[in-house]
Each structure stands twice: as structure tokens, then as C-alpha cells.
Amino acid sequence: MSNGRDSAQPLEPCVLTISRQLGSGGALIGRDLARRLGMPCYDREILQRAAEQLDVSEDVLEEEERGKTFWQSLIASFAAGSPEGLYCPPPLRIPTEGELREVESTIITHIAKAQSAIIVGRGGRHVLQAHPRHISVFLHAAESFRLRRVQELYHVSADEARDMLEESDHDRARYHASFSGADWVDARQYSLCLHVSSLGIAATVDTLYDYWQTRFDSVCGN
């Protein structure tokens, strides 16, 4: 006689989405956690896939996410001209911000249906809010911690790093609001919020690993 488990439908994959402040170590934490859990981590790969599907430059899509229009980005790139000094006509069709969101949402949804994974950024929390096996995490840190990491990672001065933090916080707030209309730093949106500069990178990974094991244990599909 079947015990019920054998005849049950295959389990859905589990997914953890990370929203993070620049300089909080979110990308590094996502990769380390994914490696420890033995699953893929998706970050810029989502933007790369969107660029391929929309047939535009990845840089142009990134500018769109930061609040600049495709036309602004394209005009800036065409202003320099081609290497031969020849006229370069703009593409016949320019994707809109709405199309970018739709394509990225489709990519994220497909990933979450196909396999257990870690997804960093790209509005993943909002896209997968109805997913039954989803942990949403917000990573934040003290400004001094963020400044130091940005200076080290991008080899910039303290003033340049501070400008980068301010611009990034503004851009991410705008981008999240365009998805959901919500404040991206509102803790009520997330399953878990962690202060990375208090915990440290390694302990943050440990905490997320333990939370994953407690929440899911062996109930995730592959």
C-alpha cells in the first residue's frame, strides 16, 4: 500500500531571494550560501538573460533600472560615434521599463519553478511573493561598513564611495517601488532582515543556512 508520499506530486523547488544595500555584501553572501547549499545563485545572470531576450545591451538595461530612459542611454552611446566615425542609426525598437520588468519577472519565475536557487536582487522578493517555498531576505549594514567595502571593491575614495551609496539607495528604492509600490527598506516585506556589519559576512551566511534548514529541511524539490 502506498504511504501517500510515493503517490504525491513532486515537491516544488525552494528559493531564497536577497534584497540588499550596496556594500552590505549581498552578492558575496548569496554566492557563499548557494555553494554551501549546493545550488545555483542568480544575480547579474538575470540581467544578461533579459538583455539577450530584448536584444539590447546589458549596460542599457542597467541604466534603465537606475531610472534613466533607454533613449538617454542610447543618445549617450551614439554621441561618441562609431570607431570609424560613421553614423549609427538607433535600433528600430526600444524596450520599455515595463517590458524589462516583465521579462525579468518571467526569467525569475522560470528559475523558481525549475530548481531550488538563490536569487540576488532584480525585484525577486516581489516576483515570488506568492511562491509557497520562498524565503525573502533583506541585508543591510552600517554606513561605515558599506563605505569600507565599496572603497575596497571599486578602488574609489571615501567621497566617491559615499556618493555611490547615496545613488544606489535612491536607485534601488525607485526600482523596487516601480515593481510593488512599497518601500524597499520596510522590514514587514521580508521573511528575515539581517544587519551584516553586526554579524559579519561568515555569520550571516551561517544564519541564513540555519534558517533555510529550519524552514525547509528536506521538503524541497531539485
The set of long-range contacts for 1-9, using a CB threshold of 8 Å and a minimum separation of 24, is none
The helix/strand/coil state of 140 is strand
Asked if residue 168 has pLDDT above 60, the reply is yes
How much is the pLDDT for 54?
A: 77
How much is the pLDDT for 78?
A: 40
Residue 107 C-alpha from the chain's centroid: 12
* pLDDT one-digit tens code per residue, 99-152: 888 888 999 999 999 999 999 988 899 999 899 999 999 999 999 999 999 999
Q: Cβ contacts of residue 112 below 8 Å, gap of 6+?
A: 13, 15, 119, 128, 131, 134
Mean pLDDT of 8-19: 83
| Percentage of residues in the chain having pLDDT higher than 70 | 76
Asked if residue 189 has pLDDT above 60, the reply is yes
Asked if residue 72 has pLDDT above 90, the reply is no
Q: How many CA atoms lie within 13 A of 93 on its CB side?
A: 5
How much is the pLDDT for 93?
A: 57
How much is the pLDDT for 140?
A: 97
Q: How many CA atoms lie within 13 A of 172 on its CB side?
A: 21
For residues 36 and 101, the model is more confident at: 36
Strand partners, 134: 15
pLDDT bracket for residue 57 (50, 70, 90): low
Mean pLDDT of 164-191: 86
User: How many angstroms separate the CA atoms of 109 and 120, rounded?
Assistant: 14
Q: Which of 181, 54, 50, 174 is nearest to 111 (CA)?
A: 50
Of the listed ranges 7-11, 43-47, 138-142, 172-176, the least confidently predicted one is 7-11
How much is the pLDDT for 141?
A: 97
Q: Phi/psi at 191 (nearest 5 deg)? A: -70, -35
